[in-house]
Structure 1
Amino acid sequence: MSFFILEYKEEDTILPRIRIEFDSNAHITAVALSGWKVSNAISLLGDGQLDTLYNVLCEAERLTLCQGIEKQIKGSLEHPQLVWDGKKIETSNIIRSSKCNIIVSSLRDVPVCVECSKYANVQDVQSQVEVDNQIHETIKVVYGEEEKSLNNWHKMFYKNQISNASLSIHARRYHPDVVRWALELYCRSPAAYEHIRSSKALVLPSISTIKSYRNCIPPTSGISSIALAEIERVAKDKEELIGYLTLDEMKIRENVVIRDGMLVGFSELQPLSDKPSLASHILVFYVRTVKREVSIPLAWYPTNVTPAYQMAIIFWELLNECEKRGLQIHAVVADGMSVNRRFFKLVSGSSTISLDQPFTAPNPHAPSRPIFLCSDPSHLLKTTRNSLLSSKPGGTRYMNMSGFDVLWTHVIDLYKEDQSSEILSKSLLTSEHIHLSPYSKMRVNLARDVLSWRVGKCLSTMVGAQGTSEFILMFAK
């Protein structure tokens, strides 16, 4: 017995185009297209629990009935269709081959399955257009020249799109690089990804496929054994594998959950004298090679504010795991937080950070190859812009350069001057660059635009803004 039923109807048909029946556990028990029960559609749509009902309906809407063959053949089947013409019900029969797949993807140019196309003499729309030899050669030359301008990734993506466009949703196969790109796009904006898929602008993996790749690594804190196995696999085929480590903390919602009989949500990195507390951040160590053969989270830990000495202990352990598997670590990249600066001092063995020479840490696996300790350029840009933002009358600091004031008010004056111009904007500054919120302060592009060569040169033409101009041009080299 069905617990609930979803139907999709069209105006000119008596029976619903799609009818899906669910049991009390939201499992699909039956699927019918135009009144024809299709058993293999259940396996194509999933069990109803892996996706939302909306996604199930979206997948079902892309299915359509095979239009069959033109004439009766031995063993053929008849499928009656009822259509309302506004006055009476009309009946028409669809003739199918004995091995008809019943359903096909609506993305196909001709809605006929592979088995029926053998008898129906149906060809793709593209092959039905005949051209003379001159036009054919011209098209070959044009497309040949266009293909030369594509790089290898473009060619791979283009061929993958063509091969999947004519296949049903569950028969498509994607290149690993396409899956990586689709996963990155989905992580940036799930809504945008679904819009691209539903509009059929690109043929991309389904949401359930993306989620299965996204959750392939178990969410267990500590060093990831899967990441270490991936490094070892890639290093076997490479003579030299050069990479670097990055580390950063991400804000999370404080909560405690039970997973596999254990309480999860407490901080794992804190001074031993402190009482257990809920984690408010996640500390992530990420490893990436220069040529991107490896790009994967290597370890993560729930924490509040990680002590520098614990970060140093984790770093030396990760360095050992990478180096003994053939991955040469040449650098460590972190933002400019005070705890990260203390961490750099600990691993370098120096009590101060030198500004006139590279800051390095010794590498016990290769004494002749030190590890460079680097501040993240994007964070440095935002920090510099924020220092300039605070440098103003009544601000937290008041900077000067070569005896000239370095003030945020000069940037505001430049913005106002551009706004008053009816012809063009010299600096390209907008309201977003000037009126910063806590969220917009995190956007690197806004800091980059303010500290640009264009803004520095525009300020050099303003009276009294020489110091601010020199300050910005120093970072725009």
Structure 2
Amino acid sequence: MEINKLFETFKFEQIESGHFNPSIKCQLFVEHMLNLFPNIKRCRKRMNGKFLVIYNGISVKQLPELNERSLQFKTTVDFFPELIPTLVDENEIVYNIESGFYSNGHAVFKKVTFCSCAIFKVSIGGKDIDFNSIHIDKCFKFTEESIKNVMHIVKQINLCNGIKYDKKMTVGKCSVLEQWKYHEQIECSRQLRSLKCLKIVQMNTVIKACRICQKMRVNAIREKENINPNESEVSCQSINPHKCGVSSGSFNPNECAVSSGYVSIEDIKKIFPQAPNEMLLMLVEQSKNISRRPNGRRWSKDFISTCLQLFNRSPKAYELLEQSKILLLPSKSVLILYKNAIKQDAGFDDACFEWMHEEALKNGMDEEHCVGGLIFDEMTIQTDIHFENNGGLLEMTGFTDIGQEGDICNKLRNGNCDKLMGTHILQLLFLGLNGFRFPFALFVTKGIQASELYGLFWKAIRLLYTYGFKVLYTCMDGAQCNRTFLHVCLGDNPTSFISSNPCYNFPVVFIMDISHVLKKKEITY
């Protein structure tokens, strides 16, 4: 069958069922098909003067007739006599499928749960699998063919094997060491796995570790310095404060020999008992790096975080402080590396929403506590063009970017397709009722308009609700575009500041920042 026709058939069926993912392209679809059906053969055929890619051994089945009798939910047990379900009731039927792997001598099973609402779930090692990450639809039909297809897909899901352990690696607090074995292997292999492991890998990849385990930072043991990288404090030889002149009440830095090791926080606390922890950390960092070369200095996470805040506040002031040699500070290039470690483009990013969801889970927030408001504000930036090297490609940043719909409105309003330099940044932030705060999107604008803000606002509410965050109110300042946006949502003659939600069935309350309201009232009078 010709691949374009096969992909269009798949796309049509997904759109009709309401589960189509626009990120699934034809190439990704082909890779999944080859993994699910390894017997498919690929060939090229010349038709009408063109070469077409044909896949033999696969065809599109006809849709079932409307009068086909659907099976009862409990009759699905009869389709797999070789498997014994672990749970059978009116709402769920649970199977345990062997994966062929053994972890620490125990077999690893794929737990498949068929729900009466025509949705199936898969969990491995107590962790539910995210079907969106492997582009699999979680819905099924109450037919024998559909249920058997689900079991076939589950068997094709590849497990994450972790990273092979080396003697130079250290097992940190966020990783675990396992004895991993496949049933055909005789000896076990020692694998290092992250506690946040996804348990599965992409179906079209040859790498046997998930993206979490691949990014897991494994530090080698520092034999010369005997430093544990998992500890925030620097381990070193203890120094007798009596040899440093502490007993006499005065501290002479020339008499304190630290050539054999680094000063710890406890040692400095004996010298300066009233010093705060931030000062103690700074002194430890100075003593640790004073005898090192500039390219061999190492800094703790807390000290890097403090220096990064100073650098973001005023790069020139940070540069003057570094050049004064009063303190040893991380170089400007090191801070830029930390600052650009996570690339954040303008617009809505799924990775940012996933990060936001993980942070909420770390804070112990369940679905009831993920309720709050959407706060947005616009701030002025310097108009400039920046060149960034991204994977060997030179990219220009600094132009306006307010999403596809906003760019279209901008082109219609200006009557041309010219790129404009951005003068403002529009930032969107979620503030929970329990104090949870997370900025999740930004847009480069040249002064946001109400028509552009309307689409971004309701799209942000829809995406937040998709990731488990419910927006009950929104807060804004008294700018003219915000007031126009308020009239668009509430109407010309509003009786309240509550607007209906076009995405979901809960309303949204509009709040104007009280400081701007009072300022406008003072100017009026």
Q: TM-score range by the shorter chain?
A: 0.3 to 0.5
Calculate the TM-score normalised by the size of structure 1.
0.42
Calculate the TM-score normalised by the size of structure 2.
0.39
